[in-house]
Chains A and B, each alone.
Chain A
Amino acid sequence: MTTVSAAPIVLQLTQITKRFGSFAANEDVSLTLRRGEILALLGENGAGKTTLMNILFGHYVADEGNVEIAERTSGTLNALPAGQPNAALDAGIGMVHQHFTLAENLTALDNILLGTEKLSAMTSSRTAARQRLDDLMRRSGLTVDLDARISTLSVGEKQRVEILKALYRDARVLVLDEPTAVLTPQESDTLFETLKTLAAEGLAIIFISHKLDEVIAASHRIMVLRLGKKVADQPTEGSTKLQLAELMVGKSVPQSTRSEQAAGPLLLTLKQASAGEGRTALHAVDLELFSGEILGIAGVSGNGQATLARALSGLEPLTAGQLQLDGKDLSGSNARKMIDAGFARIPEDRHKDGIVGPMSVAENLTIETIRAPENQRFGFLKFGAIAERARQAIKAYDIRCQGDKAPARLLSGGNIQKIVLARTLDAAPKVVLAAQPSRGLDVGATADVHRRLLDARARGAGVILISEDLDELMRLSDRIAVIHRGHLSAAEKTETLDRSTLGLKMAGHGFHGDTGEAA
């Protein structure tokens, strides 16, 4: 792509530093953005990307440094008052958050108009607004049904509403936080086409990402953050994935890949299983899991993965169909029976479902086997034995904490995941369900999770890996099935699949019995 180095500067951040306690989330970060430029902000989780954007948007106040934005008409740079989201909004900075900020009970039009008219006004001028939006949609290619309630829109459509919100307010700088996390590969392509169109019209765009492919494909310039510091700011032309990966991580982390291994006997089956209701319900799902394999479940977030995970774990009853583990029918069982039968669960939301925050590391490690004779006698806990085993687990799984009595909520996400791994995998389960096991973890912790899952596979366990990360799925899984609107495709060998076929399936191609939008 061509550079736009001659265009006027729209936004300038100078030597921004932000500390939380002794931890520097941003240190001496400067950034210049020009009219019509797409800047990719690349970095690992915790590198300080979101903090920087929150400072720009006035959610945080920087300890040092300042933000300047060009005057709309004259183009001279003026300091933006710190800590005032309203000032940022008025100056023309629009932000599309990773978690959408839309009221689901209102229509798209209502959400866009929200806050743009005086609260004391007795009427709302919808016709004029509609005309302006029709025009905006035509120019940008962002089409949405303005009268549809947000709750009926797909994730991609909601994102378009978010962008329209910013454009309707005459945004000159658009910030998108991990915009492709919830999109199919095809939807992502469409998004980047739109962004290029908008940039060509003069909009300056910053998008935050940790995906190297899209950063290289869609940006003019790349800025890399690592541990809060800017480590590179370079034109996209000439940048390579390898070089960016090194900049981002700072060290090379060996990635585990699976070795050839023949699958063993059948372990777990779902036959025509249905569960849940509404948009995320499961419909007549068939699934077979063999010993010594990893079965990947791909899909765009919100297509029934969570219901599938809960149904398998015994947390949600099947409304139809059968669940068998090792030949035993467990269709009507609860979570306890599933655990006793050799089923282990690594939950999707590890903070909420994986640990009990105020309880200690040792207690969290024991919580699923609290009734086992090594943990209790006559209903009294054996504290000594529990603490001893906890100390072993802390060592074996390298859980970084202030001892076994530390409250689990004080640990970082990666270490919380290690608690979950230690708890679930130490019991040598027959089946492991790993739901989004590496989401939000840094490269090191992710590699650790992958290694543990591969170890379980080598030991002969069957692993079900639910993930939205295609790279992770393709590297670890022996077979991959795709979930779309609660239907599960037949699993296929990973060697016979590529990203684009998976992407098409994730968007719903090849699914018969599709229930359509009305769910």
Chain B
Amino acid sequence: MDFLEIFLSANFWAAALRIATPLVFGVIGALICERAGVLNLGIEGIFTAGAMAGWMAVWLGAGLWGGVLVAAGAGAFFGLIHAILTVPLGLSQHVSGIGVTLFATSLSYFTYRTALPDVSSPPRIEPFKPLDIPGLSDLPFIGPALFQQTALTFLALFVVAATAFVLYRTPLGLAIRAVGDNPSAVESQGLSVYGLRIGAVVVGSALMALGGAFLTMSAFDAFFFGMVNGRGWICIALTVFASWRPGKALLGALLFGAFDAFQVRLQTDVGSFIPGQVFLMMPYVLSIAALILVARKADYPRALLTPYFRGQR
């Protein structure tokens, strides 16, 4: 086996970026929710809903970008459910989140089975194609590694930059960061705690759904059961790893993507005498290890998990 060879192949980096893309959407979505003080454990189900909705829209004849919009809409819908339960009604964010995950997952499978009762192999759609960017895509090594991705990957990178800009450069971002730390600071300055939190959860959930949509509309070209496979939960862990910062969130997602791409390649090299499951496990084990190192010092948004009721201190 040759580690160096793996790291030096453009193909490896392209795979890392591809694997990271849905996680980037998910972790940025989770980060926006949590910055406003709401943990969104509905993420796993919202991924599934986004994957299903986006795929089905295209299968029914919508354009690819139409499918992306439908996916975001589905995410926003489940986000709104979670937001209403946890923000004005103040229910446990854990319980509501798990409930949304169960509901969204089951509803997606149900819709899929109802629409396609007799299919044994999932029908395929024409997915996003890698963009050929004249000039950049032809660069040696960098070209194939970074610039032969689909439009959704570039959208994910744009979302990271846009989120960082909004959070740190605009009055809206300031209000979101404040409402996750001390809602009464926001209320005392005449802003609506509920409005900000509900808005953040809805937008964050829409982004999570895009992570799911990437799976059916870019990575694979079909929807099948169990395809989200814990990616949502990884995003929740990555949010802590990233200390709720968009830049670090991108880094964390890329790191996970690299682990995953690495293990696949390593498997073909030494897979003959080590069981394959050990490799599959590796990215998760490494995530937990990284989390332990970072999370001990994690600076949680102080109001995370705490519902706010007006007039109560």
Taking Cβ atoms with an 8 Å cutoff, the residues of A that contact B are 54, 59-60, 85-86, 89-90, 95, 97, 99, 101-106, 110-111, 113-124, 165
Contact = CB atoms under 8 A, between A and B. Distances in A.
A223 B270 CA distance: 84
Nearest to A96: B188
B77 to A, nearest CB: 23
Which has the most chain A C-beta neighbours within 10 Å: B182, B187, B301? B182
Contacts of A113: 171, 174
A114 B178 contact: yes
A85 B311 CA distance: 11
Interface residues of B, dominant DSSP: helix
Contacts of A102: 182, 185
Please indicate which of the listed interface residues B186, B190, B191 has the most CB atoms of chain A within 10 Å of its own CB.
Answer: B190
A115 B189 contact: yes
Interface in B166-188: 169-172, 174-175, 177-178, 181-182, 184-188
B118 interface: no
A114 B175 contact: yes
B311 A111 contact: no
> Which 9 interchain pairs have the tightest Cβ spacing?
A115-B189, A103-B178, A101-B188, A117-B171, A103-B181, A101-B184, A103-B185, A89-B190, A105-B181
Given A60-B311, A97-B313, A123-B169, 10 more contacts: A85-B190, A89-B189, A102-B185, A103-B177, A103-B185, A104-B302, A114-B174, A114-B175, A114-B186, A121-B170
Interface string B7-42: 000000000000000000000000000000000000
B189 A165 contact: yes
Interface string B190-204: 110000000000000
Interface string B274-313: 0000000000000000000000000101100000001101
Given A86-B190, A89-B190, A114-B186, A105 B299 contact: yes
A59 B310 contact: yes
B182 A124 contact: no
27 contacts: A59-B311, A85-B187, A85-B190, A89-B189, A95-B188, A101-B182, A101-B188, A103-B178, A103-B181, A104-B302, A105-B177, A105-B178, A105-B302, A106-B177, A111-B178, A111-B185, A114-B186, A114-B191, A115-B186, A117-B171, A119-B175, A121-B170, A121-B172, A123-B169, A123-B170, A124-B170, A124-B174
Q: Is the interface of A mostly helix, strand, loop or mixed?
A: loop
Contacts of B170: 121-124
A422 B189 CA distance: 44
Nearest to B192: A86
Contacts of A101: 182, 184-185, 187-188
B181 A115 contact: no
Nearest to A112: B189
